[in-house]
Amino acid sequence: MAFLSSGPYGREGGLFRALRSAAVREWDAYCWHPFVQGLADGSLPLQAFRHYLVQDYLFLVQFARAQALAVVKAESLEAMRAKGAVVQAILAETKLHLVYCAEWGLDEAAVLAEPEAPETVCYTRWVMDQGYRGDILDLEVALAPCTIGYGEVAARIEAHPARRRDGNPYENWIVQYASAEYQAVARGAAERLDRLGETHGGAARLAPLTRLFAEASRLEAEFWQMGLNAARNEAP
């Protein structure tokens, strides 16, 4: 499937493309999951998306913690400043996310009171565990499928022949991640991974890093599936 003009991400011969190629089965299962296909053509059950939205808020809270850990693990003062800015951006995004939830009829108090789903706990705590056990490269690889993957998800949706725009209830979500601003974030994350690959022995560590990348991609796919499962369980 073709990409937007801004993709694919990373540079030829860089770590990100090596990981994406080595874990292409898990990556494709995540980036073109049935949930994503339903976003593209508007056929995704509304309840699936509502459940996803609530859990995505809870995910963002833990994602901010993981990015804060990256400040601790960062390789330089410059990197610490950059990762600190990422943490602040995610915390600001949590407020915007609650506003978006309200547009979907999800009360803020109800969202805040919702417990984390097992898939949310499994994914976010796994990422933190990789960060605690490894170095900054391990942590960034574990984080990459989220940051870069959402850029590619949007790129695939935009390139899909059945892409629906008019009347698609998920249009605002798609546009957000297909935007030039978010695509730049995704490219920046891939470029950072490529730089860390050069400075932290990425080539020699490709096998274990691929396992990390593949597992993170699998957990992302499970996060999509969680939404579909919730809709099926609530169907009359």
Encode the chain (236 residues) as per-residue pLDDT tens digits: 444 444 589 999 999 999 999 999 999 999 999 999 999 999 999 999 999 999 999 999 999 999 999 999 999 999 999 999 999 999 999 999 999 999 999 988 989 999 999 999 999 999 999 999 999 999 999 999 999 999 999 999 999 999 999 999 999 999 999 999 999 999 999 999 999 999 999 999 999 999 999 999 999 999 999 999 998 887 55
Q: Is the pTM of this model over 0.75?
A: yes
pLDDT score, position 233? 82
pLDDT score, position 4? 45
- The Cα–Cα gap between 83 and 74 comes to 8
Which residues are catalytic, by number? 146, 220
Amino acid at 182: Y
pLDDT score, position 232? 87
Q: Which of 156, 135, 136 is nearest to 38 (CA)?
A: 156
Residue in the block written with tokens 């629906």: 164
Q: Please name each of the domains of the chain with its CATH number.
A: 24-229 (1.20.910.10)
pLDDT score, position 124? 97
- The Cα–Cα gap between 138 and 127 comes to 9
197 contacts 98 by C-beta, under 8 angstroms? no
Q: Is the dihedral of CA 128, 131, 132, 138 positive or negative?
A: positive
- The Cα–Cα gap between 139 and 102 comes to 33
pLDDT score, position 114? 94
Report the chain's C-alpha Rg in angstroms. 17
Token pair for 44? 């995704």
